[in-house]
Amino acid sequence: MLIVASLYIIKATGSQQGLIVAAGGIAVAIFFFLRAKFKNQIVSLFYSISVSIVGFISILGMLQLGPLAGLLYKDSVSYRGEYWQAGINMALANPIFGIGLDSYGTYYRLFRSESATIKPGVDVVTDSSHNVFIDVLSSTGFIGFLFYATLILVVVFECIKFIKGNCNFDPIFVILFSTFIAYNAQSIISINQIGLAIWGWILAGLLLGYTRRINLGIVESKPLPISDLLRTKKTTQTKEIAAGISLGIIAGGVAFFILAIPSFYADASLRKAIKSNSIDDYVEVANQFPVDSARINYIASRITIDGINEQAVTLVRIGLQKFPLDYGLMNSQYLISAEDSEEYKAIGKKLHLADPFNPAYFKFK
């Protein structure tokens, strides 16, 4: 029922990506069913070739090639190509350690290609390359990417060992493996959002644990009927958790809560300031710990609705002292500076360096 409901939601929301990923996962599951049902390898081989051909034609269609181009191609595919190129440029310019975690959006304008200013557009920016592998590569460099790729390959290697040694239809493995393949397939064209990324790590851990226990002979792989797999079983067995583990979980939860409190409090204070619409409240929130460039920029824009004032100028300058590479703050200072001032020319040159293909700053070359 959950699978049917999920497919219905995907269809109802018009998510083409979701349907393609679901179809890929189902195709992998069908392969294992045919492999177990028909011991003759010709059937599974014919199926694999057929699915590969359909998949290849579908990929061509997404790239605006082949008979399915009109059905599958979207402008977002071209946009992703620009986002990928920017991420690769970041990695090549910072090959060892990358540009830093979650810094893609900060450096996107600097490393995007000139063609990106035409499509998707000079004012269109993103904080992700829409490819998990490129995100890891640009954020952590080739060293971090090597570790990430190694983790994925270890899981794949263990799964291949399991598949070679087991010709039965193991529903637990099939569910985990097909979902893992579907996740990594969508990660090529999707963002590294925590709600998605967590499943990649969970599935990888479950696959490693399950396949290694069987590969090492700790437990035996037994084909289970789907009805037995889905049936809820009651058990009276209980296991005690070690005191050290319990304390570790509690300590970790408390530490996380303490670290998160300042950010939650700052957001609550901002909402309160918006309701009061007091400049003094805005200024106080802008300087509240932890200082956030986005919050400073937002507050500066709020208090300049009726015109530029001293508080907004001060906030932007304070923000630039703490976040000198923040494009939003630099642009705010550019907009509030007098056109004939040295400050205007200086910030214009910085903006040109940060966004070299933006024609608005060509005069500062």
Type of residue found at 360: A
List the Cα angle 27/28/29 in 5-degree steps.
90
**Are residue 82 and residue 225 in the same domain, yes or no?**
yes
- The C-alpha atoms of residue 287 and residue 130 are separated, in whole angstroms, by 33
Asked if residue 117 lies in contact with residue 357, where contact means CB atoms within 8 angstroms, the answer is yes
Q: Is residue 64 part of a domain?
A: no
| CA 17 to chain CA centroid, nearest Å | 15
User: Helix 132-165 vs helix 171-186: angle between axes, to the nearest 10 degrees?
Assistant: 160
Q: Is residue 106 part of a domain?
A: yes
Domain boundary among 196, 230, 264: 230
Overall average pLDDT of the 91-95 stretch: 95
- The C-alpha atoms of residue 73 and residue 64 are separated, in whole angstroms, by 5
**Which of residues 40 and 347 earns the better pLDDT score?**
347
- Lookup: tokens for 9: 């939601």
Asked if residue 68 lies in contact with residue 57, where contact means CB atoms within 8 angstroms, the answer is yes
Q: What is the residue-averaged pLDDT of the chain?
A: 84
- The C-alpha atoms of residue 48 and residue 28 are separated, in whole angstroms, by 9
**Are residue 151 and residue 184 in the same domain, yes or no?**
yes
pLDDT band at residue 221, thresholds of 50, 70 and 90? Answer: low
Overall average pLDDT of the 237-244 stretch: 64
**Are residue 78 and residue 118 in the same domain, yes or no?**
yes
- When mean pLDDT is compared over 7-21, 63-77, 228-242, 312-326, the highest value belongs to 312-326
Overall average pLDDT of the 184-203 stretch: 88
Q: Is residue 238 part of a domain?
A: no
Query: Tell me, what's the pLDDT at 227?
Result: 54
**Are residue 339 and residue 316 in the same domain, yes or no?**
yes
Domain count, the chain: 2
pLDDT band at residue 216, thresholds of 50, 70 and 90? Answer: low
**Are residue 209 and residue 84 in the same domain, yes or no?**
yes
**Are residue 97 and residue 211 in the same domain, yes or no?**
yes
**Are residue 178 and residue 266 in the same domain, yes or no?**
no
**Are residue 199 and residue 292 in the same domain, yes or no?**
no
| pLDDT above 70 as % of the chain | 87
- The C-alpha atoms of residue 357 and residue 348 are separated, in whole angstroms, by 13
**Are residue 210 and residue 263 in the same domain, yes or no?**
no
The pairs formed by 289-294 with CB atoms below 8 angstroms and a separation of 24 or more are 289/262, 290/262, 290/263, 290/266, 291/319, 291/322, 292/266, 293/319, 293/322, 293/323, 293/326, 293/328, 293/329, 294/328
| CA 64 to chain CA centroid, nearest Å | 25
**Are residue 220 and residue 301 in the same domain, yes or no?**
no
Query: Tell me, what's the pLDDT at 241?
Result: 64
Asked whether residue 145 carries a pLDDT value surpassing 90, the answer given is: yes
**Are residue 215 and residue 257 in the same domain, yes or no?**
no
Asked whether residue 280 carries a pLDDT value surpassing 80, the answer given is: yes
Question: Could you tell me the CATH number of the domain that includes residue 351?
Answer: 1.25.40.10
Asked whether residue 218 carries a pLDDT value surpassing 70, the answer given is: no
- The C-alpha atoms of residue 140 and residue 146 are separated, in whole angstroms, by 10
Quote the domain boundaries for residue 197.
74-230
Asked if residue 145 lies in contact with residue 133, where contact means CB atoms within 8 angstroms, the answer is yes
Model confidence over 27-67: pLDDT tens digits?
A: 988 988 888 888 778 888 888 898 889 888 887 777 667 77
- Comparing 4-18, 43-57, 171-185, 224-238, the range with the smallest average pLDDT is 224-238
Asked whether residue 238 carries a pLDDT value surpassing 60, the answer given is: no
Q: Is residue 91 part of a domain?
A: yes
- Which whole-number Å values give the CA distances from 18 to 9, 81, 93, 197, in the listed order? 10, 20, 34, 15
Domain boundary among 164, 197, 230: 230
How many other C-beta atoms are found inside a 10 Å radius of the C-beta of residue 210?
Answer: 20
Domain boundary among 170, 205, 230: 230
- Lookup: tokens for 114: 């000139």
Query: Tell me, what's the pLDDT at 88?
Result: 96
Q: Is residue 327 part of a domain?
A: yes
